[in-house]
Amino acid sequence: MAGNSLPPRRAGNAAAIAVVILATMAVALFVGFNLYHADTQKERQSGQVDPRDAPKSPTDLQVAPVKPSQPN
């Protein structure tokens, strides 16, 4: 049984700290993305769209193509 000794206590503490750091990073990313989404959603609902999100050309997939007017 000498070959199946437990790892040192510091290794367990280091693993716990690593898990806590990763969980904190995941929560921070989740909250950050939600805040960003809320901000952009508020802009879209108010009609103030960021110029970087505006269509760049008539064939841009963000907007329906403009139909040419028919002569009368």
Q: Would you call 35 exposed, middle or buried from its count of C-beta atoms within 10 A (0-12, 13-18, 19+)?
A: exposed
Q: How far apart are CA 17 and CA 15, in angstroms?
A: 5
- Do the Cβ atoms of 55 and 62 come closer than 8 Å? yes
pLDDT tens per residue, range 27-71: 999 999 999 888 888 877 777 667 777 767 777 766 565 666 766
Give the mean model confidence (pLDDT) for residues 17-27. 97
> Is the pTM here over 0.85, yes or no?
no
